[in-house]
Amino acid sequence: MAEHPPEQPTAPRDRTDSRDRTGTSDRTEARDWTDGHLDRWQPVLPGLDPDIEASVTRMSRLTRHLGRVREQGVADYGLHKHEFDTLHVLAGRGGHAAPSDLRADLNLAPASVTGRLETLERRGFVLRTPSTEDRRKVDIVLTEAGRAAWQEALDVVGREERRLLGVLSEEERRTLADLLRKVMLAQEGER
């Protein structure tokens, strides 16, 4: 089901008990928004698997939160999301790529990539240089100013990711990453 009503931040309440699959208490912990969501929907949908619903709902809310942090971080450093995305892809290619590579990575039409690159070049974030492989083509190079703008915006997201996942031990983070890989492999196998 994974219903996602509008964001209404609520203060976590102390949870006096956590319910296992049978609805019986097993430990004491704080309640989050999703616990209230489950409380509302389990009586309506008795067949609802609380673990699946809780996992999907929490992943969705976390993704939306990190997306908002990313957008704000990007804006705080004077970048538009599409500019950041382009710099990010270029940085991921070692700071040097052909426009066609960027187009493929960003899944955009050639004209869209050209427009982005022109804007980034005017801002001094990228340079167009003659291709070392084919003189008729150009390569896009990330400038120091472009790398700095990208890195500063990226650091905002990184700090929030570390803050949130820092509540887990190293072993718990590894377990979470392994479990999410298992889920993603199932999703990617559907293609």
pTM across the whole model = 0.68
Residue with the bigger pLDDT between 158 and 135: it is 158
pLDDT digits (tens, 9 = 90+) for 21-75: 444 445 558 999 999 998 999 999 989 999 999 999 999 999 999 999 988 888 9
Residue-level length of the chain: 191
Residue 138 backbone dihedrals phi, psi, to 5 degrees: -120, 160
Question: Under the phi-then-psi rule, with left for phi > 0, alpha for psi from -120 to 50, and beta for the rest, what region is 23?
Answer: left
